[in-house]
Amino acid sequence: MKSLSALTDPTYAPKKELSHYDRFWLQFMNDKRDLPFVYLLTFIHLTVVPVAALLLTPLLKGWIWWAVALPYFYIAQFYFKGRFGLMFHCLCHRKMFKPAYQQAIHNYITWIICPLFGHAPEGYFSHHLGMHHVENNNEADASSTMAYQRDSLRSFFAYFFNFLFLGFKQTFQYLFRKKRKKLYTRFTFGEWLFIFFCIGMCFVHLKATLVIWVIPFFFARFVMMLGNWTQHSFIDHSDPENLYTNSINCINTPYNKVCWNDGYHIIHHLRPGMHYTDMPAEFLKRADEFAANKAIVFDGIHYLHIFIYLMTKQYNKLADNLVNINDMFESRDAAIKLMKQRTKKIVAQAA
C-alpha cells in the first residue's frame, strides 16, 4: 500500500502570455481555464473532421482508401476518443461558452462531432446528467453496477450486453417515469435519428459509414461501460448511497493529464459541477473524510489497470497501489478483504 503523497495531476496554471488565438476564443468563453478544450477541438477539426469527409468521397479507392481509413480510425478512436469524450463530459456539466453562443456551439458538438466518436446525439447528456448523477449508481440507474459480481468477466459481459441492448429502453423508461419530457424527447430523437442516418449512409458508402460512425458507436458503448464498471466496482453493501464508498479515485496517473482528471470520480460525484483543475485540491481538503469512510483511492494506475486486475482477481496488485490515507487500513490483508467485500453482487431488497 501507499501513503498519500504529493499530487501530480493537472491544476490550473495561468498562461504567462495569451496568444491571438486565445484572445479570440476568450471573447466567447466563460472560463479561461477551458482554453485546452478549444485547442483539442481545433486539432479534431484539423485532423478527424476533414479525413472523415475525405473517406466519404470517391477520391480514394482500393488500397489507398484503406491506407487512409486505418490510421484515421486509430487516431480518432484511440488517440482522440478518450480526450474528446471526457472533454464533452466536462462541457455537459459546465457551460463553456457565454449565453449568446452556448446552445448553438453545444448543439454543433453534440450533433456533428460527437457521432464521430461513437456518441449518438443527446444520448450522453440525457443518460449521464438526467439519470446517472441523480441516482449515483443505485438501483434505479440503468447503468448501475450493483447487481453484478464486479470482479467477474462473465458478469461484466452480462452488464455490457444488457446496456447495449436494453440501455436505451431502460433509460427512456426512467426519464419517462420521472416526467423529464424534454430529456426523453431529445434522447429518443437523437438515438433514432442516428440509427436511421447510419442505415441510410450505408447505402451511400458502406465502408466509410462503418469506420466513421457504426464501429465507433459500439466501441464507445463498450469503453463507457468498462469505465463505469470500474468507477463503481467497489460499493459498501451497508451503505450503497454513500458517495465515498460507491466510487473510486485514481490519482497521480498520466490518464488524468489527458482526460481532464477523470480519475477523481468520487470528487466528481460529490461535486459534479466542479472544474477539473480544482479536483486535486478538493481531494486533499476532504482527505480526512476519505479516510473516515475507507474510500478506495489508487495511486499511479487508472481504470484499465483496475479493470484488468479485477477480472484476473489480482487483489495483491490493487493493494500495491491502494492509498492508505491516515492509516485507515490496519493491514494489507484487511484492505484486500474490504476490497473483495465491496466487489460482491448486491441483491436488491424487496419493496
pLDDT per position as a tens digit, 125-138 = 999 999 999 999 99
Terminal-residue alpha carbon distance, the chain: 40
- Residue 32 within a domain: yes
Residue 349: per-residue pLDDT? 61
pLDDT-derived band of residue 350, with 50, 70 and 90 as boundaries?
A: very low
> How many domains is the chain partitioned into structurally?
1
- Residue 87 within a domain: yes
- Residue 152 within a domain: no
- Residue 153 within a domain: no
- Residue 272 within a domain: no
Please give the angle made by the CA atoms of 155, 124 and 36, to the nearest 5 degrees: 115
pLDDT-derived band of residue 86, with 50, 70 and 90 as boundaries?
A: very high
Q: Which residues is 298 bridged to in the sheet?
A: 250, 322
Instruction: Check whether 264 has a pLDDT greater than 70.
Output: yes
For 82, the domain range is: 20-147+161-221
Q: Which of 342, 332, 344 lies closest to 293, judged by CA?
A: 342
Alpha helix ranges (H) inside the chain? 20-26, 35-46, 48-55, 62-74, 81-93, 99-108, 123-127, 133-135, 153-177, 181-204, 206-209, 215-231, 254-258, 265-270, 279-285, 287-292, 303-311, 315-320, 332-342
- Residue 309 within a domain: no
Per the CB < 8 A criterion, the answer to whether 295 and 245 are in contact is yes
Per the CB < 8 A criterion, the answer to whether 270 and 221 are in contact is no
pLDDT per position as a tens digit, 210-232 = 999 999 999 999 999 999 999 99
Rounded-to-integer distance, Cα 250 and Cα 245, Å: 14
Residues 6+ apart with CB under 8 A from 293: 242, 244, 245
pLDDT per position as a tens digit, 87-98 = 999 999 999 999
pLDDT-derived band of residue 348, with 50, 70 and 90 as boundaries?
A: confident
- Residue 347 within a domain: no
